[in-house]
Amino acid sequence: MRTSEHHVGHQMVETGAEQWILISNYTSSAAADAARGMVRELVAGMSENFGMKLDVLGQGEVSRQVT
């Protein structure tokens, strides 16, 4: 995984059976926005190689599925 002086860590939280959310923390909103392209590239590779469904959301964005 690539590293950056602007990335301060992440948490992974189980939200349901076989469902997880990965939260990345950055030093500022500007640093997080600048990293979105790199994160999208990483996510695309994981989706292709492992069949995972991954979405990249910015601060304040909401993704909701009701079943």
Return the number of other C-beta atoms located less than 10 Å from residue 36's C-beta: 12
pLDDT in tens, 14-31: 888 877 787 888 888 888
pLDDT score of 66: 60
Per-residue pLDDT band for 1 (boundaries 50, 70, 90) equals very low
Residue spans of the domains in the chain: they are 1-67
Instruction: Please give the Cα distance from 30 to 54 (Å, whole number).
Output: 22
Average of per-residue pLDDT values in the chain: 78
pLDDT score of 10: 80
Specify the higher pLDDT residue, 44 or 4.
44
